[in-house]
Chain A
């Protein structure tokens, strides 16, 4: 499915450009290189790629601006490359429209896995009325029903909205701000409320709430709904 997909690598380091080009091409992708913000924007506009790998530090500006700019007119998935410990930078970029990130220095296996997942998600977003299956957990988005096997799970409206937000972006990190905005509306909600309700949600939907498998905490950034995830439209 991802064979032959076009990947734009935005990074100014020669060694990294070369290493990524060689490995991604070996994995079957077509690779384009951009070394600056201006170059990246021009390439996304002229030769739209299927995915952008974006470094935060570029010679003529920051990756945040590139993200925001691209998001103004293109839904192309953006994978961010950021340094260790830069949680705030990651949050900023995710809020600016990036879809996921890898932390520098990254292994190539991890990078390839992320690229595959992002490309799959780009074509495979769950429809708003779909029934989503998370292991043996079923989320019926049309009827607002959550069930494990035959047993229905009762969620409060806030818990359901949180789960819905996560299900709408499977495998993707949702920042705390994004989740608060989606559930409580802009300017409302506080981070401690989010923790309390996520903990309550985990108690209801996780098999073992002490070792959550579905909702992963991404330290300092947000939450992620773990894949694999199978969704099929119900007609």
Chain B
């Protein structure tokens, strides 16, 4: 038969329907006897006013009720019992005779009614059970798929899906294990996709009758397909991220190479030339010139050293391998030390410091934030007109955050360039002859991000740029109270 598959599934799928009709035999007999007894009493009462032959019909409601409630078999037996009772007790002459055609007419009529009603009732019941099952399954699938295909990570989705599956099956808890691993639960159902086992659904606290139930298997089947989809989605997303990172690091490498070839060569050339002049035998240099040239060599090596440190930091930041040792530090200390270091690098620019009145503890990696501040000050100095000063200030905002601002009196940074100045190797349009690798601000932004701070650009009052660094600070009360 072509329909054998559905038929085989039938009994399993309709377990609920059979439970509904499989009322205990005792109850069936009790209700049937009661109804037939009641009907017989009615016949006994009514026969005074009516022809007893017509009263056989009084049994019909009882037979139909039994057939409807307990199925056609119970209905048939009730019909037979009613016909026998009616024929044997009420039809004169009393006593049962098999050749009595009246008995057969009533028996067949009641029997046919029982079969018809029983069949209709069971069909209706079957249909509603199916609808219920379908609805449940749809709800389950929707729940699981939204858990698996939603924005959360696969790991999180697995937990959600397992919870939904546990609720659907009636288990105390469930766990989805992808791949292999030691078995932990009470029972495990394999999760298959195209005959390939992708994992298992482990269940604990499962009531015994449910172990036999087809429900659990069906849930496992639904889970498998969706899990496979979610896995694939995760894999694709990871591949996408990786590709994007590769593209980005490729662009960075090109920029790095360009910087290395130019920025590293310049100081190297200067050093090489000077040193060969000093060590050469052809030229006689007076002691003053010698010292001057040697100082130049020292300056150029410092430049090289800083460049190498910058390049290292940029590549570490881009690779995400920067580690920040976060701890409480005094903002004044950070600013003081940064300003001292910056004064050494840009001695021609006066740097003013404006510290807040009270102690401000900020959570950060002090070396990294000092580096950020030095870079910001150096950058500000680069754009400052001769004689103008750079101001560094610290204050606390109402939200218990420390705000460190570096202000200059340069041309400022146009609004549309404010994001791009933080890109490695970006050189602003307002930059004149100012040198530099274009790494300082990129490193600053990278370190600030790693320290959970915010670095932004604003206009300084009276022209110029204001670089604003915001860091989480310890509330004054808790710093003092402890």
A217 engages B337 (CB within 8 Å): yes
Tell me the bound Cα distance from A195 to B363 in angstroms.
Answer: 12
Q: Which residues of A contact B479 (CB under 8 A)?
A: 192, 196
A170–B332 Cα gap in the complex (Å)? Answer: 23
Q: Which residues of B contact A198 (CB under 8 A)?
A: 330
Q: How far is the CA of A59 from the CA of B306 in the complex (A)?
A: 26
Interface string of B303-342 (1 = CB under 8 A from A): 0010001000100000000000101111011101100000
CB atoms of B355 and A217 under 8 A apart: no
Min Cβ gap B229→A in Å is: 45
B367 touches A192 (CB 8 A): no
B452-482 CB contact bits vs A (8 Å, 1 = yes)? Answer: 0000000000000000000000100001101
From B309, B337, B355, B474, give the contact of A210 (CB < 8 A).
Answer: B355
Determine the interface band of chain B, counting residues with CB < 8 A from chain A. 20 to 34
- Stretch of A72-80, A82-90, A113-121, A150-158 with 4 or more beta carbons under 8 angstroms from chain B: A82-90
- Which residues of A (61-99) have their CB < 8 Å from a CB of B? 84-85, 87-88
A217 and B365 form a contact (CB under 8 A): no
Q: Are A87 and B359 in contact (CB under 8 A)?
A: no
CB neighbours (8 Å) of B380 from chain A are none
Q: How far is the CA of A107 from the CA of B305 in the complex (A)?
A: 13
Contact (Cβ within 8 A) B305 A219: no
Return chain A residues, CB-CB under 8 Å to B334: 219
Question: Assuming the A-B contacts A87-B367, A105-B301, A210-B332, are A220 and B325 also in contact, with contact meaning beta carbons closer than 8 angstroms in the complex?
Answer: yes
Q: How large is the interface on A (under 10, 10 to 19, 20 to 34, 35 or more residues)?
A: 20 to 34
Q: Is A191 an interface residue (CB 8 A)?
A: yes
Closest to B369 in A: A219
Report whether A220 and B361 are in contact in the complex, using a CB–CB cutoff of 8 Å: no
Q: Which B residue sits closest to A107, measured CB to CB? A: B298
Interface contact B325-A191, CB-CB below 8 Å: no
* A85 with B309, Cβ < 8 A, contacts A217-B333, A217-B336, A220-B325 known: yes
| Residues of chain B at the chain A interface (Cβ within 8 Å) | 298, 301, 305, 309, 313, 325, 327-330, 332-334, 336-337, 355, 359, 361, 365-367, 370-371, 474, 479-480, 482
27 A-B residue pairs with Cβ-Cβ distance under 8 Å, sorted by A, are A87-B325, A87-B366, A87-B367, A88-B325, A105-B301, A105-B305, A107-B298, A190-B482, A191-B327, A191-B328, A192-B328, A192-B474, A195-B333, A195-B359, A195-B361, A196-B359, A196-B361, A196-B482, A199-B332, A199-B359, A210-B332, A210-B355, A217-B330, A217-B333, A219-B333, A219-B337, A220-B325
In the A-B complex, list the 7 residue pairs whose CB atoms are closest, starting with the nearest. Answer: A192-B328, A220-B367, A217-B333, A220-B366, A87-B367, A199-B359, A219-B366
